């Protein structure tokens, strides 16, 4: 009981600390962003479609995964993206990460992004966990010494035991997510993007992750973007919520209002 | 058009460290799990050379086809077939690198042209090991080092650049449609047999066929490497060969830049 109280107390602490620490500097800016996916019946149709040769029947239509999306996120904010399946949350985050490009509009991102996109988080399944840490570190542009320095913390956080030296294809999905998360938070990101990566971890690990994210958020310089379907998790440590529906922003405001809006409407 | 080319060059330059390290990872991945690990990079080519030598020299008695050249047939064969191993890998896996590194395409921000360079670098490292072996073989056979061998580094660089561009061009297309990868893999065998890896293109008696064959970039590299190692001539002494290659190079470069400009933002969505 008492531990629970102190937990909520520290939570309130974290929130107040966090809220006062938001600076005015805009780090992420979406300006009228639209992302359109064209759907074809098969690869061949897609290939021909490129040459503007749309044979009847092979072009099935297009989906706006993001539609006229505009918002600004300031340095140090923690923003939750809410919406039902297919609302365009992952698409928006992918554009922040820079792996997909908007069809029209402008996406501006300032700072080093550490992203955890959908569970597997971009690991090479043939390599071991330890090698993947080195690989990802190198892609991020860290030096060998820096990687060596981070490695124990990542391994410790991920709690993989013997499996750290096994190929990643032998990992359970929770284990992959653990390693992905451990890596993403270890490299001191300026912008942390987490897309549903917590949902497969067990309760204990989820708690650990949330604690770690909170710790990161205390640092006023880190911006966190977060996708989850659990309103309670979002409420716990985000200050702002953006609700998406069919690619359009339908609500943007304080997290409690956002979750209330989301729960009332969907 | 030029801005796209500049982007490709800039990306590759800015990410050169990551590209180099990822290339080493690529080799590690290939060699791991095998007891002989690194030796396999040499054993496979060794087997090939043995088979071709056995079939052509011992079996068919084609003999040493280069009148000007010195030394046995196997030396002539090696000088051409070793560059072919590089080109074979580029035509096989090298033209479909996006499927090889899906996580670099749609999970991490990484320049797509750099992915081609990773694979080309890895293949080139193997090629350099084979080149060392080739030098040793030639040296062991008592053929002296001379000024013609200065062409070798130049040709290696040219080979790297050309096949990197080929990889950039076709990888984008193969990511969008499997047909392209299949087509190129199907073309690999005819290109090999029409390339002069195992026969001497200069000995083809019909001139226009010979000229035509020089438009095959594989022929260019194979013949040029042979000239450096075995025939002891400068490759630019054969203008038709250089013109043929220059034409193919420029067309490939233009096509690659055009394709890259059009598709590089779409590839992540379709993979
Ligand atoms: N590569 C793609 N090609 C075609 N359509 C796509 C692609 N990626 C996403 N979409 C479509 O875009 C829409 C938004 O997808 P997105 O993944 O952003 O949803 P989401 O909000 O993350 O959903 P979830 O809660 O299920 O993760 C969906 O209709 C989806 O089918
Ligand atoms: Mg999603």
User: Residue B59: pLDDT above 80?
Assistant: no
Mean pLDDT value of segment A25-41: 85
Q: Where are the domains of chain B?
A: 2-270
Beta carbons of B104 and A139 less than 8 Å apart: yes
- Percentage, residues of chain A above pLDDT 90: 0
pLDDT confidence bin for B195, thresholds 50/70/90: confident
Query: What is the share, in percent, of chain A residues with pLDDT greater than 70?
Result: 86
Name the CATH code of domain A2-26+74-112+189-265 (choices 3.40.30.10, 3.40.50.300, 3.20.20.70, 3.40.50.970).
3.40.50.300
The ipTM estimated for the assembled molecules is: 0.78
Q: Give the closest-approach CA distance of B4 to chain A in angstroms.
A: 16
> How far apart are alpha carbons A139 and B168 in whole angstroms?
20
Judged by CB atoms closer than 8 Å, whether chains meet at B22 and A44 is answered as no
> Which chain B residues have any C-beta within 8 angstroms of a chain A C-beta?
17-18, 21-22, 25, 28-29, 101, 103-110, 176-179, 262-263, 265, 268-270
Check pLDDT > 90 for residue B168: yes
CB-CB contact of A46 with B176 (8 Å): yes
**Range of weakest confidence among A69-73, A115-119, B66-70, B221-225:** B66-70
Q: What is the pLDDT of residue A52?
A: 66
What gap in Å lies between CA B29 and CA B32, rounded to an integer?
A: 5
| Coil/strand/helix, residue B69 | coil
The pLDDT assigned to A82 comes to: 86
Which residues in chain A are closer than 8 Å to B262, comparing Cβ atoms? 50
At A1 the pLDDT is 39
Neighbours of A30 (CB within 10 A): 22
The answer for residues whose C-beta is within 8 angstroms of residue B25's C-beta and 6 or more apart is A124, A127, A131, A135
CB A192 within 8 A of CB A216: yes
Q: Look at ligand 1, atom 29, and give the residue with the nearest C-alpha.
A: A86
Nearest residue by C-alpha to atom 28 in ligand 1: A86
- State the average pLDDT over residues B188-199: 84
Please report the pLDDT score of residue B70 as a whole number.
Answer: 57
What pLDDT shows up at residue B62? 65
The pLDDT assigned to A10 comes to 45
Residue A11 has pLDDT above 50, yes or no: no
- How many angstroms separate the alpha carbon of residue A90 from the centre of ligand 2? 4
Assigned token pair, B24: 């080493």
Question: With bands split at pLDDT 50, 70 and 90, how would you rate the model's confidence at B121?
Answer: very high
Residues of B in contact with A191 (CB under 8 A): none
Residues 6+ apart with CB under 8 A from B92: B185, B188
Express each pLDDT in B170-186 by its tens digit: 999 888 888 888 888 88
- Other Cβ atoms less than 10 A from the Cβ of A140: the count is 18
pLDDT of residue A2: 42
Pocket test for ligand 1, best of A88, A193, A200, A226 (most atoms within 8 A of CB): A88
* Mean per-residue pLDDT, A224-242: 82
CA dist., res. B215 & res. B191, Å (int): 11
* All structural domains of chain A with their residue ranges: 2-26+74-112+189-265
Residue B159 has pLDDT above 80, yes or no: yes
Supply the pTM of this predicted model. 0.86
The answer on pLDDT for B30 being more than 90 is: no
| Contact yes or no for A197/B107 (Cβ under 8 A) | no
Which residue among A41, A91, A93, A94 has the greatest number of ligand 1 atoms within 8 angstroms of its CB, and so is best to mutate? Answer: A91
With b for 16 or more beta-carbon neighbours within 10 A and e for fewer, the B12-30 pattern comes to: beebeebbebbbebbbbeb
First to last CA, chain B: 25
**pLDDT number for residue B246:** 93
Task: Supply the mean pLDDT for chain B.
Answer: 85
Which residue of B16, B33, B103 to mutate against A (max A Cβ within 10 Å)? B103
Q: Which residue stretches of chain A are H helix?
A: 2-20, 43-50, 89-97, 129-139, 144-158, 173-186, 203-218, 231-237, 255-265
Evaluate if residue A4 carries a pLDDT over 60.
no
Going by pLDDT thresholds of 50, 70 and 90, the confidence category of residue A61 is confident
Whole-number pLDDT of residue B67: 47
What mean pLDDT is predicted for residues A231-248?
83
Determine phi and psi for A4, rounding to 5 degrees.
-60, -45
């Amino acid at each position: 009981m008492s531990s629970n109280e102190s937990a909520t107390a520290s939570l309130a602490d974290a929130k107040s600390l966090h809220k006062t620490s938001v600076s005015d500097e805009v780090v992420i800016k979406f300006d009228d962003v639209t992302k359109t996916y064209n759907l074809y019946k098969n690869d061949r149709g897609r290939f021909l479609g490129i040459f503007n040769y749309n044979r009847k029947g092979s072009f099935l239509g297009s989906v706006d995964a993001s539609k006229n999306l505009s918002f600004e996120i300031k340095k140090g904010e923690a923003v939750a993206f809410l919406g039902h399946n297919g609302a365009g949350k992952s698409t928006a985050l992918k554009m922040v990460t820079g792996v997909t490009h908007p069809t029209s509009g402008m996406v501006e991102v300032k700072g080093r992004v550490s992203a955890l996109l959908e569970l597997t988080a971009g690991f090479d399944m043939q390599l071991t966990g330890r090698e993947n840490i080195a690989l990802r570190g190198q892609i991020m542009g860290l030096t060998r010494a820096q990687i060596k320095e981070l490695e124990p913390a990542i391994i410790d956080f991920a709690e993989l035991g013997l499996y750290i030296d096994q190929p990643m294809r032998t990992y359970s999905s929770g284990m992959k997510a653990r390693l992905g998360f451990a890596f993403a938070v270890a490299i001191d990101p300026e912008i942390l993007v987490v897309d549903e990566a917590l949902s497969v971890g067990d309760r204990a690990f989820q708690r650990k992750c949330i604690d770690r994210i909170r710790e990161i958020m205390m640092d006023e310089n880190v911006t966190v973007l977060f996708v989850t379907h659990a309103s309670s998790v979002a409420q716990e440590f985000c200050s702002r919520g953006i609700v998406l529906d069919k690619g359009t922003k339908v609500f943007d405001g304080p997290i409690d209002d956002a979750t209330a809006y989301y729960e009332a409407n969907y | 058009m030029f801005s796209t080319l500049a982007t490709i060059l800039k990306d590759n330059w800015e990410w050169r460290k990551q590209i180099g390290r990822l290339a080493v990872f690529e080799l590690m991945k290939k060699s791991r799990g095998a007891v002989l690990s690194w030796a396999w990079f040499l054993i496979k080519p060794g087997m090939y050379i043995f088979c071709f030598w056995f079939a052509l020299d011992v079996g068919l008695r084609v003999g040493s086809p280069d009148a000007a050249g010195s030394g046995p047939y196997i030396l002539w064969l090696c000088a051409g077939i070793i560059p072919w191993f590089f080109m074979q890998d580029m035509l096989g896996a090298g033209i479909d690198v996006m499927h090889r590194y899906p996580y670099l395409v749609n999970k991490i921000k990484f320049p797509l042209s750099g992915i081609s360079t990773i694979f080309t670098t890895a293949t080139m490292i193997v090629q350099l090991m084979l080149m060392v072996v080739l030098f040793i073989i030639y040296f062991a056979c008592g053929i002296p080092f001379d000024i013609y061998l200065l062409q070798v580094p130049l040709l290696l660089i040219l080979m790297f650049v050309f096949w990197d561009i080929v990889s950039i061009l076709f990888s984008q297309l193969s990511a969008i449609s499997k047909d392209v990868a299949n087509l190129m893999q199907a073309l690999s065998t005819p290109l090999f047999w029409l390339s002069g890896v195992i026969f001497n293109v200069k000995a083809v008696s019909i001139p226009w066929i010979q000229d035509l064959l020089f438009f095959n970039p594989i022929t260019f590299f194979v013949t040029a490497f042979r000239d450096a190692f075995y025939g002891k001539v400068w490759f630019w002494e054969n203008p038709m060969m250089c013109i043929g290659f220059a034409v193919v190079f420029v067309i490939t470069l233009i096509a690659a830049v055009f394709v890259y400009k059009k598709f590089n933002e779409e590839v992540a969505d379709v993979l």
